[in-house]
Amino acid sequence: MSKTFYNVITLASLASLLHCAYSAAQHRSYLRLTEQPFISLPADVLAQTIISLVALIYGATHVAGAFQHIKSDPVRA
């Protein structure tokens, strides 16, 4: 696939992660206003966060290009 595709995946997943952070902050604010205890984040926010993180890692590794081999130094070994 083209590098543009991976750039789009990376940017979309980064935007999605920012949306997750905003949603988590909104949820905490709502709980404070209604004086409810914080137990955990809603399942949809958790699922979106995990999916976005995996997509970001996938896209970033392809945008970075080919990995280079690590050369060992026989003198130090």
In tens, the pLDDT along 14-63 reads 999 999 999 999 999 999 999 999 999 999 999 999 999 999 999 999 98
- Provide the token pair at 69: 């081999």
What is the DSSP-derived secondary structure letter of residue 64? S
Report the alpha-carbon distance of residue 47 to residue 58 in Å, rounded: 17
- Provide the token pair at 59: 């896209």
Report the alpha-carbon distance of residue 47 to residue 20 in Å, rounded: 10
Give yes or no for residue 77 having a pLDDT over 60.
no
Report the alpha-carbon distance of residue 10 to residue 6 in Å, rounded: 6
- Provide the token pair at 58: 């996938």
